[in-house]
């Protein structure tokens, strides 16, 4: 039986737990403080933005749209190139009746990804709410021509709801017609982490594979996918996903350590140790890297000693 390999806990995990206890303001401040205490590498920016996105989801679930929007604003301070964060913040700003800010966020999301369906729908709904119904309807019809609509009848019902100025119902129908609605469990990354923590690596991998189209440039998604494959004992698949994460972000220490574990899984201990040493060159005090280095160094010594004993025999 393959021994499960856990996903290393983020340095922001305690702050996320603070948000889970109902203290999002403290959580946001703690994440921002921790992120800027050391070198603000790309890996740390990704991790901080991801933690703040989790805080936002927890605040939103608790009915605190203002703090959820604040958490996403902080997240965008670290990763302004994530269209999902812009779109999510736009939805919250619309709840708060802050329409000009919401429109700016939607425009930013679409500048990053012009084919982002959820953002296009939100912008069309905003256009309609501000009286630009003809433009909104044309935008949505164009979207339907460019995209495979899984439930065309539902999409048509959405257009009819928009013509009646029933924006909320229209938005729900459009999301359902295009299969855009998120499950109650939250984002794909959040669901995958929860599944990994529960030991269900196979389902986590399936969730991440489904989320991959359109997010191929997200190193954290490849990292989690590689971690899921590592837990399953699929070392070659893990190496492929983690190599992609490192290609996108060479300073992603957590991914490099998982890459080292996957190398160890295929018997390449020397190469695994080299990956750990690369981390230690950048961060000599990295606790997980030090632990692996000590474990593999002692293991290597034992192997060499055993080999010398066999040679003398």
Work out the average pLDDT over 204-232: 84
Instruction: Tell me which residue of 100, 3, 86, 91 sits closest to 49, measured CA to CA.
Output: 86
- Give tens-digit pLDDT for 61-76: 888 999 999 999 999 9
* Helix (H), strand (E) at residue 209: helix 201-211
CATH-assigned architecture of domain 188-312: Alpha Horseshoe (1.25)
Three-state secondary-structure class, residue 267? coil
Assign 205 to helix, strand or coil: helix
4 SS3 class: coil
Q: Is the pTM of this model over 0.85?
A: no
| Closest CA relative to residue 116, chosen from 49, 168, 180 | 180
Whole-number mean pLDDT of the chain?
80
Tell me the HSE value of 6 on the side-chain side, using a 13 A CA sphere.
Answer: 6
Of 54, 87, 47, 84, the closest CA to residue 71 belongs to: 54
Q: What is the 3-state secondary structure (H, E, C) of 90-137?
A: HHHHHHCCCHHHHHHHHHHHHHHCCCCHHHHHHHHHHHHHCCCHHHHH
Q: Where in the chain is the domain with CATH 1.25.40.10?
A: 1-113, 188-312
Task: Round to whole Å and give the CA distance between 253 and 237.
Answer: 19
Residues 6+ apart with CB under 8 A from 122: 87, 90, 91, 94, 102, 106, 171
Residue 183 has a pLDDT of: 40
Q: What is the rounded distance in angstroms from the CA atom of residue 310 to the CA atom of residue 232?
A: 34
Q: Are 51 and 15 in contact (CB under 8 A)?
A: yes
Q: What is the pLDDT of residues 99-134, one digit of tens each?
A: 899 999 999 988 888 877 778 888 887 887 777 777
Q: Which CATH architecture has domain 1-113?
A: Alpha Horseshoe (1.25)
């Amino acid at each position: 039986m393959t021994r499960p390999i856990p996903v290393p806990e983020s340095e922001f995990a305690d702050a996320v737990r603070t948000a889970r206890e109902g203290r999002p303001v403290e959580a946001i401040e703690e994440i921002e403080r921790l992120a800027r205490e050391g070198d603000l590498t790309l890996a740390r920016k990704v991790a901080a933005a991801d933690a703040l996105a989790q805080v936002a989801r927890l605040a939103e679930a608790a009915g605190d749209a203002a703090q959820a929007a604040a958490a996403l604003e902080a997240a965008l301070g670290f990763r302004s190139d994530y269209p999902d964060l812009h779109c999510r913040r736009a939805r919250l700003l619309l709840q708060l009746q802050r329409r000009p800010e919401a429109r700016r966020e939607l425009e930013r999301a679409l500048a990053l990804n012009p084919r982002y369906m959820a953002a296009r729908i939100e912008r069309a709904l905003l256009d309609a709410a501000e009286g630009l119904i003809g433009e909104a309807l044309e935008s949505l019809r164009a979207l339907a021509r460019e995209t495979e609509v899984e439930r065309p009848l539902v999409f048509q019902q959405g257009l009819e709801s928009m013509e009646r100025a029933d924006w909320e119902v229209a938005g729900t129908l459009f999301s359902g017609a295009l299969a855009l609605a998120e499950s109650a469990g939250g984002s794909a990354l959040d669901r995958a982490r929860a599944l990994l923590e529960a030991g269900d690596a196979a389902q986590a991998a399936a969730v991440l594979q489904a989320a991959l189209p359109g997010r191929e440039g997200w190193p954290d998604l490849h990292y989690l996918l590689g971690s899921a494959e590592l837990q399953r004992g699929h070392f070659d698949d893990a190496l492929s996903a983690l190599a992609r994460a490192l290609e996108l972000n060479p300073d992603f220490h957590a991914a490099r350590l998982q890459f080292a574990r996957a190398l160890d899984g295929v018997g390449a201990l020397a190469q695994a140790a080299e990956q750990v040493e690369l981390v230690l060159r950048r961060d000599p005090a990295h606790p997980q890297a030090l632990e692996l280095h000590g474990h593999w160094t002692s293991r290597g010594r034992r192997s060499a000693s055993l080999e010398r004993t066999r040679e003398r025999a």
